[in-house]
């Protein structure tokens, strides 16, 4: 019987693997196109010059980032090159401090500290603007990053990681850009509390 | 999906696969011992799986396509133990070890 | 004993030792959830977590390598090609891991520059090790692949198991290259990072452990090669058939197009099916042989592998894999419960089985069946199930209160973490972690002493066997 013949299953293993791998490669080419800055799901880095929101889209049936009017970060509009430099520096900060080993980014990482996907949009920053004596949300975020132990959020304190002013500015820029990515609705109804029946 | 519906649906899916494992375990034991009562228990385990799957299909807010996947999985779980057992018996037949 | 088998024993010892480091750092990481002030200013959660997850990868990799080096000379009937290089690189590997661990503990981080990535910290999960160490690991794996593939190419005949293992080496090693780049765009970074993580632990590693367990079954039960090879091909077909596009279950929320919700969810939902087949196979083997084997712990750990894989990866995975459910469970302790149980069942148990197989031959024991291994078995499995269960409760509370109700803000996060179900689960997890740690000590002691007492006793007159 062919089902008892290992060679039958070997042929099956080879053909299955090859077909699946080809499909994966094709989908990868399409996905990379979508997730490069300017693609269908990921805005260009200069989105940090704009107002960003996250709202329910009834046509799609899920939450979507909404890019609004001009809202320069730290009061300064940036060019493509400057934005890319900020994002590159921000990511280096995130990796050098291993942020992903306490926090999550788009739900990936560690679960000891909050998810940072929509951190730019967190309503808690309103309170931190007052606490840090800052004039804007981004300034409050930068001051927090530079002295997290001084502006502790709750009993689990973020440690001081020696983040410089330039690094803090770049990281805030990174988080603003991150919040503009279309993550297919994750996290669900961010900032809106749902009453459980 | 409401918070309660999400929790219930997730747990139901876990129960479904767990029941599949119980069914496989009891089915294997039944074949080994040639025991009618173990076959009955295996059937009951699969009954739990089937009821659970029915619940998922009828009472959860999953879209139709996903419900079809769940239903098809439930059928697949039914067939996997006997198919696997039959394959193992046939291939081990020459070893002189069979049940 | 052949050079390859001697090297195998070294790798298995190193694996078990790093397993201990993983356990200790796991307890440390768990402590912070209960006492957030612990070692504040000195050593933080992130470092404990890095040590915990990285030593997990290292000990499993070393375990795989130990298992392969053990079986290789018997499979090929000769010493593997380039074994001299592997012998040197073993020490390079161990020293590099220790140096990196010291850097993580004493240096911890650096400024946001490429230099930091090269010397101290790359900060990408599981592959945080600085680039110089990643180069070392890549070299170790390249030589490992050469030992397998090179010998296969030189051999006149190659067995089916070795053919599968050899072909599998290529993607296994190539995927590790993803540990090197610094990609600014988080969506692209995570896209490729998941190729490494998923196509390791849900594809190439599964094939590798499948090959190892096939060789183990031939040793433990004397099963014929034709049978294990036929089964191995079925496994490869089903595991890769579901797992390659099952990669999509990591592409729901990272900015990728939404067709991944359907593709990833569908293939991922199929992933438990082959695992059920493995459970049936395990029951068949256990029953038909009436649990008769000359190496009871080796066999029991192999059974634990089949069941643990099904429960941890299959059951726990299926609960959270559909996208509309994953939306709530993603990035919570639910993920952690699944991860712990799946890694334990799919890989750790299999490697422990091989440890006992190698031990039997190395210490020339006719049978391995004293009762001492049972303590380790019960405490480790019981501890792990307890931890996974605790984390499941914590994860459900978090998904419910933080995500489903709370809207995932900082305030919602805190509410979830302070929820009584969550808090109690953190204590419970720690308690079961202590049980697991006790199991580890029992295991280490058992591996150290197994057979030595019997051998010593055999030179004394008239002592009844245990």
Give the DSSP letter string of C238-267.
HHHHHHHHHGGGGSSSSS--THHHHHHHHH
Backbone angles phi, psi at C42, to 5 degrees: -110, -60
Quick check: is C316 in a domain? no
Tell me the two tokens of residue C456: 């010593």
With a CB-CB cutoff of 8 Å, which residues 12-41 of chain B face chain C? 13-14, 16-18, 20-21, 24-25, 27-29, 31-32
Handedness of CA B55, B58, B60, B66 (dihedral sign): positive
Under an 8 A CB cutoff, do C255 and A112 touch? no
Taking only the tens of pLDDT, chain C with its 466 residues reads 899 999 999 999 999 999 999 999 999 999 999 999 999 999 999 999 999 999 999 999 999 999 999 999 999 999 999 999 999 999 999 999 999 999 999 999 999 999 999 999 999 999 999 999 999 999 999 999 999 999 999 987 889 999 999 999 999 999 999 999 999 999 999 999 999 999 999 999 999 999 999 999 998 888 889 899 999 999 999 999 999 999 999 999 999 999 999 999 999 999 999 999 999 999 999 998 877 888 999 999 999 999 999 999 999 999 999 999 999 999 999 999 999 999 999 999 999 999 999 999 999 988 887 778 999 999 999 999 999 999 999 999 999 999 999 999 999 999 999 999 999 999 999 999 999 999 999 999 999 998 876 555 444 344 444 4
Minimal Cα distance from B34: which residue of C?
Answer: C287
A1 touches chain B (CB under 8 A): yes
C1 touches chain B (CB under 8 A): no
Domain that holds residue B48: 3-94
**Residue B97: its pLDDT value, please?**
46
Under an 8 A CB cutoff, do A31 and C256 touch? yes
Alpha-carbon distance of C449 to C378, in angstroms, equals 18
- Cβ neighbours of residue C439 under 8 Å, at least 6 residues apart? C375, C376, C377, C378, C379, C380, C381, C382, C383
Under an 8 A CB cutoff, do B6 and C281 touch? no
**Residue C222: its pLDDT value, please?**
87
Alpha-carbon distance of C264 to C247, in angstroms, equals 6
Quick check: is B34 in a domain? yes
CB atoms within 10 A of CB A16: 18
Alpha-carbon distance of C15 to A45, in angstroms, equals 44
**Residues A16, A106 within the same domain:** no
Minimal Cα distance from A175: which residue of C?
Answer: C186
**Residue C178: its pLDDT value, please?**
96
Quick check: is C26 in a domain? yes
- Please tell me which chains touch C, using 3 or more CB pairs under 8 Å as the contact test: A, B
Quick check: is C333 in a domain? no
Count of domains forming chain A: 2
Alpha-carbon distance of C446 to C448, in angstroms, equals 5
CB nearest to B80's CB, from C262, C277, C399: C277
CB nearest to A184's CB, from C41, C113, C252: C252
Candidates A173, A147, A157; CA nearest to A102 is A157
Quick check: is B83 in a domain? yes
Interface test with C, best of B1, B4, B21, B94 (most C CBs within 10 A): B21
Under an 8 A CB cutoff, do C185 and A87 touch? yes
pTM: 0.95
CB nearest to C281's CB, from B66, B88, B94: B88
Under an 8 A CB cutoff, do A194 and B91 touch? no
Domain that holds residue A13: 2-35
CB atoms within 10 A of CB A98: 27
Angle at which helix C349-362 crosses helix C296-308, to 10 degrees, equals: 170
Residue C15 sits in a domain whose CATH number is: 1.20.210.10
Alpha-carbon distance of C187 to B60, in angstroms, equals 32
Alpha-carbon distance of C335 to A164, in angstroms, equals 33
Candidates C212, C213, C78, C208; CA nearest to C147 is C78
Quick check: is B99 in a domain? no
**Residues A167, A98 within the same domain:** yes
Taking only the tens of pLDDT, chain A with its 197 residues reads 688 888 999 999 999 999 999 999 999 999 999 999 999 999 999 999 999 999 999 999 999 999 999 999 999 999 999 999 999 999 999 999 999 999 999 999 999 999 999 999 999 999 999 999 999 999 999 999 999 999 988 999 999 999 999 999 999 999 999 999 999 999 999 998 876 54
Quick check: is C338 in a domain? no
C-alpha torsion C346→C175→C66→C290, nearest 10: 30
**Residues A118, A66 within the same domain:** yes
B98 pLDDT band (50/70/90 cuts)?
very low
Residue C89, exposed/middle/buried by CB under 10 A (0-12, 13-18, 19+)? buried
Count of domains forming chain C: 1
Give residue-wise pLDDT tens across range B5-44. 999 999 999 999 999 999 999 999 999 999 999 999 999 9
With a CB-CB cutoff of 8 Å, which residues 20-49 of chain A face chain B? none
Residue A152 sits in a domain whose CATH number is: 1.10.760
- Please tell me which chains touch B, using 3 or more CB pairs under 8 Å as the contact test: A, C
**Residues A164, A91 within the same domain:** yes
Under an 8 A CB cutoff, do B11 and C404 touch? no
Minimal Cα distance from C255: which residue of A?
Answer: A183
Angle at which helix C349-362 crosses helix C205-221, to 10 degrees, equals: 40
Quick check: is C68 in a domain? yes
Quick check: is C113 in a domain? yes
Say whether pLDDT at B96 is over 80. Answer: no
Chain A residue numbers with beta carbons less than 8 Å from the beta carbon of C184 are: 84, 87-88, 90-91
Chain C residue numbers with beta carbons less than 8 Å from the beta carbon of A175 are: none
Under an 8 A CB cutoff, do A41 and C187 touch? yes
Under an 8 A CB cutoff, do A183 and C255 touch? yes
CB nearest to C276's CB, from B7, B14, B77: B77
**Residue A194: its pLDDT value, please?**
77
Chain B residue numbers with beta carbons less than 8 Å from the beta carbon of A197 are: 2, 4
Quick check: is A192 in a domain? no
The answer to whether C168 touches C204, Cβ cutoff 8 Å, is yes
Under an 8 A CB cutoff, do A193 and C183 touch? no
Under an 8 A CB cutoff, do C123 and A89 touch? no
A61 touches chain B (CB under 8 A): no
**Residues A60, A154 within the same domain:** yes
User: CA of A172, closest CA in chain B: separation in Å?
Assistant: 32
Minimal Cα distance from B20: which residue of C?
Answer: C276
Tell me the two tokens of residue B63: 């879209």
Candidates C250, C306, C317, C304; CA nearest to C439 is C304
Tell me the two tokens of residue C72: 């290789």
User: CA of B26, closest CA in chain C: separation in Å?
Assistant: 9
Chain C residue numbers with beta carbons less than 8 Å from the beta carbon of A180 are: none
Give residue-wise pLDDT tens across range A137-187. 999 999 999 999 999 889 999 999 999 999 999 999 999 999 999 999 999
Minimal Cα distance from C290: which residue of B?
Answer: B32
Quick check: is B78 in a domain? yes
The answer to whether C308 touches C315, Cβ cutoff 8 Å, is no
User: CA of B2, closest CA in chain A: separation in Å?
Assistant: 7
CA distances from C414 to A13, A31, A110, A145, A192 (A): 47, 34, 15, 19, 15
Count of domains forming chain B: 1
The answer to whether C297 touches C276, Cβ cutoff 8 Å, is no
Domain that holds residue C159: 1-182
Q: What is the ipTM of this complex?
A: 0.97
Quick check: is A97 in a domain? yes
C421 touches chain B (CB under 8 A): no
Alpha-carbon distance of A18 to A15, in angstroms, equals 5
CB nearest to B87's CB, from A3, A194, A196: A3
Q: Strand pairing of A50-57 and A62-70?
A: antiparallel
Under an 8 A CB cutoff, do B18 and C396 touch? no
Quick check: is C95 in a domain? yes
**Residues A10, A102 within the same domain:** no
Q: What is the mean pLDDT of chain A?
A: 95
> Beta partners for A108?
A105
The answer to whether A64 touches A182, Cβ cutoff 8 Å, is yes
- Residue A115, SS3? strand
The answer to whether C402 touches C416, Cβ cutoff 8 Å, is yes
Chain B residue numbers with beta carbons less than 8 Å from the beta carbon of C329 are: 10
Tell me the two tokens of residue C349: 């148990």
CB nearest to C319's CB, from B11, B85, B91: B11
**Residues A9, A98 within the same domain:** no
Quick check: is A187 in a domain? no
Largest Cα–Cα distance in chain C? 74
Radius of gyration of chain B (CA): 16
**Residues A161, A83 within the same domain:** yes
**Residue B95: its pLDDT value, please?**
66
Quick check: is B40 in a domain? yes
CB nearest to B91's CB, from A4, A196, A197: A4
Quick check: is C170 in a domain? yes
């Amino acid at each position: 019987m062919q089902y008892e013949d290992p060679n039958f299953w070997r042929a099956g293993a080879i053909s299955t693997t090859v077909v699946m791998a080809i499909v994966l490669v094709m989908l990868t080419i399409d996905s990379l196109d979508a997730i490069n800055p300017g693609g269908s799901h990921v805005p260009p880095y200069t989105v940090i010059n704009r107002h960003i929101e996250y709202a329910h889209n009834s046509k799609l049936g899920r939450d979507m980032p909404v890019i609004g009017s001009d809202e320069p970060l730290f009061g300064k509009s940036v060019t493509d090159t400057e934005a890319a430099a900020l994002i590159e520096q921000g990511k280096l900060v995130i990796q050098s401090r291993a942020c992903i080993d306490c926090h999550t980014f788009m739900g990936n990482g560690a679960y000891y500290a909050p998810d940072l996907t929509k951190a730019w949009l967190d309503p808690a920053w309103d309170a931190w603007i007052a606490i840090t004596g800052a004039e804007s949300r981004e300034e409050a975020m930068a001051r927090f990053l530079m002295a997290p132990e001084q502006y502790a959020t709750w009993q689990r304190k973020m440690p001081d990681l020696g983040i410089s002013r330039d690094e803090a500015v770049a990281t805030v820029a990174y988080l603003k850009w991150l919040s503009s990515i279309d993550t297919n609705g994750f996290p669900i109804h961010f900032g809106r509390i749902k009453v459980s029946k | 999906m409401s918070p309660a519906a999400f929790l219930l649906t997730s747990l139901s899916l876990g129960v479904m696969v767990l029941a599949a494992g119980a069914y496989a375990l009891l089915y294997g034991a039944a074949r080994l011992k040639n025991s009618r009562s173990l076959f009955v228990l295996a059937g009951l385990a699969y009954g739990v799986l089937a009821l659970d799957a029915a619940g998922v299909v009828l009472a959860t807010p999953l879209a139709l396509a996903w419900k079809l996947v769940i239903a098809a999985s439930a059928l697949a779980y039914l067939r996997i133990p006997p198919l696997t057992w039959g394959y193992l018996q046939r291939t081990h037949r020459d070893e002189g070890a069979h049940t | 004993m052949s050079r390859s088998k001697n090297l195998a024993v070294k790798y298995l010892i190193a694996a078990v030792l790093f397993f201990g480091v993983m356990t200790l750092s796991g307890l440390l990481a768990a402590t912070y959830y209960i006492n957030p002030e612990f070692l504040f200013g000195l050593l933080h959660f992130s470092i404990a977590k890095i040590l915990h997850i990285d030593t997990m990868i290292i000990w499993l990799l070393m375990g795989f390598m130990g298992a392969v080096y053990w079986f290789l000379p018997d499979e090929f009937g000769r010493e593997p090609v380039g074994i001299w290089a592997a012998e040197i690189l073993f020490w390079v590997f161990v020293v590099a891991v220790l140096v990196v661990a010291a850097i993580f503990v004493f240096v911890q981080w650096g400024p946001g520059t490429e230099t930091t990535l090269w010397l101290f910290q790359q900060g990408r999960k599981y592959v945080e090790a600085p680039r110089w160490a990643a180069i070392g690991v890549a070299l170790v794996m390249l030589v490992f692949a050469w030992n397998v593939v090179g010998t296969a190419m030189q051999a006149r005949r190659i067995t089916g198991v070795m053919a599968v293992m050899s072909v599998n080496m290529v993607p296994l090693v190539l995927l590790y290259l993803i540990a090197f780049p610094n990609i600014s765009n988080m969506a692209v970074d995570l896209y490729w990072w998941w190729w490494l993580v998923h196509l390791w632990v849900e594809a190439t590693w599964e094939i590798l452990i499948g090959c190892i367990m096939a060789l183990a079954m031939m040793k433990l039960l004397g099963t014929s090669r034709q049978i294990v090879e036929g089964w191995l091909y079925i496994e490869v077909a089903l595991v890769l058939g579901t797992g390659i596009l099952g990669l999509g279950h990591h592409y729901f929320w990272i900015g990728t197009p939404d067709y991944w919700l359907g593709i990833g969810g569908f293939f991922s939902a199929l992933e438990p099916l082959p695992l059920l087949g493995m459970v049936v196979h395990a029951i068949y083997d256990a029953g038909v042989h009436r649990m008769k084997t000359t190496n009871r712990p080796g066999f029991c750990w192999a059974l634990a592998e089949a069941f643990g894989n099904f429960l941890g990866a299959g059951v726990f995975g299926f609960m959270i894999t559909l996208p509309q459910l994953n939306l709530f469970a993603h990035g919570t302790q639910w993920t952690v419960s699944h991860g712990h149980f799946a890694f334990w069942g799919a890989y750790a148990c299999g490697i422990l089985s091989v440890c006992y197989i190698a031990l039997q031959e190395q210490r020339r024991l006719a049978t391995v069946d004293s009762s001492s291994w049972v303590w380790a078995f019960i405490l480790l499995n019981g501890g792990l199930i307890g931890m996974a269960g605790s984390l499941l409760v914590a994860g459900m509370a978090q998904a419910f209160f933080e995500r489903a109700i709370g809207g995932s803000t900082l305030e919602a996060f805190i509410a979830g973490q302070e929820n009584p179900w969550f808090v109690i689960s953190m204590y419970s997890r720690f308690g079961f972690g202590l049980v697991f740690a006790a199991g580890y000590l029992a295991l280490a002691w058992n591996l150290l002493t197994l057979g030595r007492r019997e051998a010593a006793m055999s030179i004394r007159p008239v002592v009844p066997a245990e």
